Amino acid sequence: QLQLQESGPGLVKPSETLSLTCTVSGGSISSSDYYWGWIRQSPGKGLEWIGNIYYSGSTYYNPSLKSRVTISADTSKNQFSLKLSSVTAADTAVFYCARQQKLRYCSTSCVGPPDYWGQGTLVTVSS
Amino acid sequence: DIVMTQSPDSLAVSLGERATINCKSSQSVLYSSSNKNYLAWYQQKPGQPPKLLFYWASTRESGVPDRFSGSGSGTDFTLTISSLQAEDVAVYYCQQYYNNPPAFGPGTKVDIK
């Protein structure tokens, strides 16, 4: 059974960098069948796609966050990570990591909807 | 970017009655080459991550009860719960994966009347 678990600090100061890691068990992030992504949920903005990474290392970032986001992977640890720089209170949210299937039928995107999610971790931005 | 809207914001339905949630996309999510709608539905209960219910607008994920159904095409979609059970109390979201960035609707809260 695939499991994803987010980890990282629950409190980050404004202007600093938020760093989270997702540890995957029961499956490999090196599979060509899946993308691995980050999504956040805040009361004000609902569910917001942050970005994802493919086994090849290619990444996609939401244009609204692109200048501040980096997603990377460590295949030796079966983990992928999120860094969000220059955070403000508006970045306070529950952050989820998730798996998405690579679609057989691509439109302008080949990334399917998330089918496995981590439990989520609340990150608060405050001094 | 494609913008997703949902209606109503919330609804209260008696146990055993039908619940209907609507989702609209700002542009079509039907891809002509595949003849598929790139639309998913999720259920989220308090303190839990969203759970995938449907993809391709109407393909039920494994384990989802058949009282749930998804329908629609192009820009207009519907999630129907044919006979509401107590365990169906949740917020329901639609999501387009037709293009990047993927976008979720604002959610519809379903309660028991």
How many angstroms away from the CA of B72 is the closest CA of chain A? 17
**pLDDT above 90 (res B93):** yes
Q: Which among A23, A54, A25, A20 has a CA at the least distance from the CA of A37?
A: A54
Give the model's pLDDT for residue B105. Answer: 98
Q: Which residue of A has its CA nearest to B53?
A: A115
A47 touches chain B (CB under 8 A): yes
Question: Whole-angstrom Cα distance, residue B53 to residue B50?
Answer: 9
Can you give the pLDDT at residue B77? Answer: 98
The predicted pLDDT at position B109 comes to 97
B100 vs A109: CB contact, 8 Å cut-off?
yes
Structure tokens at B12: 């209260």
Please give the mean pLDDT across all residues of chain A: 96
- pLDDT confidence band for B85 (50 / 70 / 90): very high
- Beta carbons of B99 and A47 less than 8 Å apart: no
pLDDT of residue A44: 75
The reported pLDDT for the residue numbered B35 is 94
Interface check A49 vs B, CB under 8 A? yes
Cβ-based neighbour number of residue A11 at 10 Å? 11
**pLDDT tens-digit map of B34-54:** 999 999 999 999 999 999 999
How many residues are recorded in chain A? 127
Q: What is the DSSP letter of A63?
A: T
Q: Which two tokens stand for residue B88?
A: 């169906």
pLDDT reported for residue A72: 98
Among partner residues A105, A115, A117, which is closest to B34 by beta-carbon distance?
Answer: A105
Query: What pLDDT does residue B107 have?
Result: 97
The stretches in chain A having pLDDT less than 70 are none
The answer to whether A47 contacts B95, with C-beta atoms less than 8 Å apart, is yes
A70: Cβ contacts below 8 Å, ≥ 6 apart: A82, A83, A85
Integer Rg of chain B from CA: 13
pLDDT (0 to 100) of residue A45 = 77
* Residue B6 near residue B23, CB atoms below 8 Å: yes
Q: What is the pLDDT of residues B1-32, one digit of tens each?
A: 999 999 999 999 999 999 999 999 999 999 99
CA distance B16 to B24: 26
How is residue A76 written in tokens?
């030796």
Above 90 in pLDDT, residue B110? yes
pLDDT of residue A105: 87
